[in-house]
C-alpha cells in the first residue's frame, strides 16, 4: 500500500538527517491518504530504513499495514489530522534553534515577513507534556490553532503542510526563523512587524491554507 508515499516519507526523513534537524531515529513524519496515515516506525534509524518499514494506520490509530510499531508520537499526528482537515502531511523535528526557543518556552513573534503568510502568525509553544502522551497531542493541537507550525516545550517543533514537501519546507522555514530571532535577541531587541502587516499576512495564510 502507498509505495509512493512511503518512499517520499523516507526521503524527507533522510533530508532531516542531512540538515541536522534530527539524529538517529528521532523526530517523525507522516502523510495522510484519505482516511489513512502513512507514518514512520518507532526506533528505526533513518539511514538504514527501507520504505516498506513505514506503518499505515487509520485516523483512529488502528494498524492497517506494517510489521513495525508506529512512531510513539502517533497520537500527536492523529490529533493534528483529526483537528485540521487542511493538514495533509506532518514533519516533527528536533532541530536546534526551534528546540532552543522551545526550551526558553518563548514563542516566535512575527518578526520575519515570510513566516506569517506561510505559518499563520506568532508561533506558540505548546505546553509541556511527556513525549508520546495523549496530553502532548492535546497541547500541540491547542497551540497550533490557526497556525501551520508550533513549538513543543523542551522538545522540538511540528509543522504540517499540503503535502510532505510543503510540511518540510515549513519546518525548515520555522527553524531558520527561530535562528534569526535568537541571533537578533543576542544582538539587541528584535522589532516585530507592524500590526496591520501581520493582520494582512495572516489573512493571506487563511486564504491559502485550503488550496
Ligand atoms: Zn520528538
Q: Is the pLDDT of residue 11 over 80?
A: yes
User: What's the 126 CA to ligand 1 centre distance in angstroms?
Assistant: 13
Q: Which residue has the higher pLDDT, 59 or 211?
A: 59
Question: In angstroms, what CA-CA distances link 70 with 9, 12, 40, 175?
Answer: 14, 17, 6, 25
Q: Is the pLDDT of residue 211 over 80?
A: no
Mean pLDDT, range 175-197, rounded to an integer:
97
Burial of 9 (0-12, 13-18, 19+ CB in 10 A): buried
Mean pLDDT, range 121-141, rounded to an integer:
98
Question: In angstroms, what CA-CA distances link 3 with 7, 9, 101, 181?
Answer: 6, 10, 36, 39
pLDDT value of residue 209: 87
Q: Where does 6-163 show beta strands of DSSP type E?
A: 28-33, 36-39, 55-58, 63-65, 89-93, 125-126, 149-152, 156-161
Q: Which residues are catalytic?
A: 73
User: What's the 51 CA to ligand 1 centre distance in angstroms?
Assistant: 21
Q: Is the pLDDT of residue 210 over 90?
A: no
Euclidean distance between CA atoms 91 and 167, whole angstroms = 6
| Average pLDDT over all residues of the chain | 97
pLDDT value of residue 155: 97
The answer to whether the pTM exceeds 0.75 is: yes
User: What's the 174 CA to ligand 1 centre distance in angstroms?
Assistant: 16
User: What's the 139 CA to ligand 1 centre distance in angstroms?
Assistant: 14
Euclidean distance between CA atoms 126 and 187, whole angstroms = 27
Mean pLDDT, range 97-102, rounded to an integer:
98
Q: Tell the residue number behind the cell numbers 540538515, with chain if given.
A: 19
CATH level 2 (architecture), domain 3-208: 3-Layer(aba) Sandwich (3.40)
User: What's the 189 CA to ligand 1 centre distance in angstroms?
Assistant: 30
pLDDT value of residue 113: 93
Amino acid at each position: 500500500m502507498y509505495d509512493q508515499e512511503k518512499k517520499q516519507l523516507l526521503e524527507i526523513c533522510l533530508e532531516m538527517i542531512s540538515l541536522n534537524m534530527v539524529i538517529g531515529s528521532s523526530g517523525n513524519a507522516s502523510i495522510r491518504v484519505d482516511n489513512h496515515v502513512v507514518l514512520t516506525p518507532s526506533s528505526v534509524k533513518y539511514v538504514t530504513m527501507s520504505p516498506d518499514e513505514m506503518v499505515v494506520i487509520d485516523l483512529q490509530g488502528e494498524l492497517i499495514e506494517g510489521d513495525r510499531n508506529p512512531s510513539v508520537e502517533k497520537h500527536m499526528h492523529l490529533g493534528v489530522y483529526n483537528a485540521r482537515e487542511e493538514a495533509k502531511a506532518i514533519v516533527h523535528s528536533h532541530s536546534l534553534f526551534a528546540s532552543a526557543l522551545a526550551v526558553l518556552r518563548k514563542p516566535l513573534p512575527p518578526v520575519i515577513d515570510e513566516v506569517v503568510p506561510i505559518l499563520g502568525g506568532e508561533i506558540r509553544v505548546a505546553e509541556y507534556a511527556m513525549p508520546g502522551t495523549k496530553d502532548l497531542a492535546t497541547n500541540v493541537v491547542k497551540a497550533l490553532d490557526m497556525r501551520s507550525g508550533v513549538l513543543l516545550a523542551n522538545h522540538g517543533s511540528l509543522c504540517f503542510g499540503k503535502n510532505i514537501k510543503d510540511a518540510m519546507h515549513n519546518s525548515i522555514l520555522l527553524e531558520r526563523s527561530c535562528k534569526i530571532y535568537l541571533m537578533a535577541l543576542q544582538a539587541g531587541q528584535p522589532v516585530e512587524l507592524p500590526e496591520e502587516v501581520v493582520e494582512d499576512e495572516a489573512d493571506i495564510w487563511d486564504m491559502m491554507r485550503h488550496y
